[in-house]
Amino acid sequence: MSELLDSANQDRTSVELFAGGGGLAMAVARAGFRPLLLNEVAKWACETLVANGAKPYDIEGERPPIPTPGERPPLLRGDVAKAEFDHLVGLVDVLAGGPPCQPFSLGGTGRGDEDHRNGFPHMFRAVREMRPKVVICENVRGLLRQSFAPYFEYIKRELTLPFEQRREGGSWHEHDTRLRELIDKDGGLPDERYDVQHFAVNAADYGVPQIRNRVILVAFRRDLGVDMKRFEELVKPQFSEASLYASMADGTYWDRHPEVPRKVQERVMERLPQQTLPSAVDQKPAWRTLRDAVNGIDGQRTLPPIPIEYLDRKERFLGGFTDHVGWPDARIYKGHTPNELDRPAKTVKAGVHGVPGGESVVALDDGSHRYMSVRETARVMTFPDTWTLAGSRGEKMRQLGNAVPVLLGHAFAEAVAKILGEAEKPT
């Protein structure tokens, strides 16, 4: 059964905008929130969500019904600018989403507020119409660049007072001045004001076998009386780079991977940084590596190797796995170096071959290299093997590159669930 349907009988609720291939939606569902609505505009991402349990509705058609426990969550297909959410007022615990990152990413145009793809205004409108208890937004670390710092602080102030709307035709600078004044005066009703915090995170610190630097915004409605310091404690990094090196040094990492040739182990050990090992008091589980992902984490089966004669674009269901297809013509050169098996993977990006840096290539123990399969990439994003991805190889890789790693999203959604439970306990 789909993970979206697995959550269909839960009491807490969620709405997901910019749902993409479903990483954050899956994470929120795993944390105990039943999806009342999903929204996405990209055709193949919509097909993926439908294949995993969502019921499709077109945005130009009738408004989707609010699902009762046990029913399939509705997927509103189309431009979020045309969506209406006022029928969900008072029913939503968590509003989540990853507004399009191109306006703020190094790979995009970097136009920020001026870019028509900026999804934050639609998130704020949804907040006004739904009045959710909590908002979770994920985006690229580019939002924290010095050139975007003033606008990022403005985004946080908008989320603090989402009901104080920007004047039509007015600049964000003018609106920001007004928001600053109101926040300084502690303005806004408690049920129309949010306490906002942002977190600069590396997904590897949350059990994801990938170096992926992102920023996560979390906002709790003020009338809930949430202890933000308590939340910050719950979302502190949970895995450690130093612990990975320590496990290699003491041999426990290699004990998990007895198939690794001794000469490969020695080569990896020669490149380990000289640093202080984690203390016994503060020791966390080790960062997970690409080899961990291929061999299976959290109960997954090991992915079989892809023989060189199978690098021919043909699906063979090796070991019974879908999307574990060999792809030819991978190259490595200066500035385009491959992933190493005994490190977390490089950041998965929304492309197949055209992305820079060799993010979709892996170096193997025998000295050869090849493109990573879609299934391997999905594991690096901590998607379960049961999650169906729709479209061509390129479309699947694009969905994965745009997604939130499931374990990263789950760490924050689970902390939100715990904080809500504590805030709502009778005193």
Q: Per-residue pLDDT tens for 64-83?
A: 999 999 999 999 999 999 99
pLDDT for residue 4: 77
Tokens read off for 45: 């991402």
Average pLDDT over residues 309-333: 95
Q: How confident is the model at residue 178 (pLDDT cuts 50, 70, 90)?
A: very high
**Predicted pLDDT of residue 186:** 93
Nearest to 117 by CA among 162, 80, 167: 80
Confidence label for 49 from pLDDT (cuts 50, 70 and 90)? very high
Average pLDDT over residues 144-166: 92
Confidence (pTM): 0.94
The pLDDT assigned to 263 comes to 97
- pLDDT at residue 128 above 50? yes
pLDDT tens digits, one per residue of 188-235: 999 999 999 999 999 999 999 999 999 999 999 999 999 999 999 999
**pLDDT at position 273, please?**
84
Model pLDDT for residues 223-262, shown as the tens digit of each residue: 999 999 999 999 999 999 999 999 999 999 999 999 999 9
The architecture in CATH of the region 3-237+402-423 reads 3-Layer(aba) Sandwich (3.40)
List all residues 6 or more positions away from 386 whose beta carbon is below 8 Å from its beta carbon: 2, 3
pLDDT band at 425 (very low <50, low <70, confident <90, very high): confident
- Taking each helix axis from N to C end, the angle separating 172-184 and 149-160, rounded to the nearest 10 degrees, works out to 50
User: What is the pLDDT, as a whole number, of residue 358?
Assistant: 81
Q: Does 1 score more than 50 pLDDT? A: no
Parse the chain into domains and list their residue ranges.
3-237+402-423, 240-286, 287-401
Output the DSSP codes for 236-284.
S--SBHHHHHHHHHHSHHHHH-TTS-HHHHHHHHHT----PPPPTTT--
Q: Taking residues 376-391, what's their average pLDDT?
A: 98
Domain 287-401's class?
alpha beta
Identify the burial level of 392 via C-beta atoms within 10 angstroms of its C-beta, where 0-12 means exposed, 13-18 middle and 19 or more buried: exposed
Which residues are identified as catalytic?
Answer: 101
Compare 234 and 143 and report the one with higher pLDDT: 234
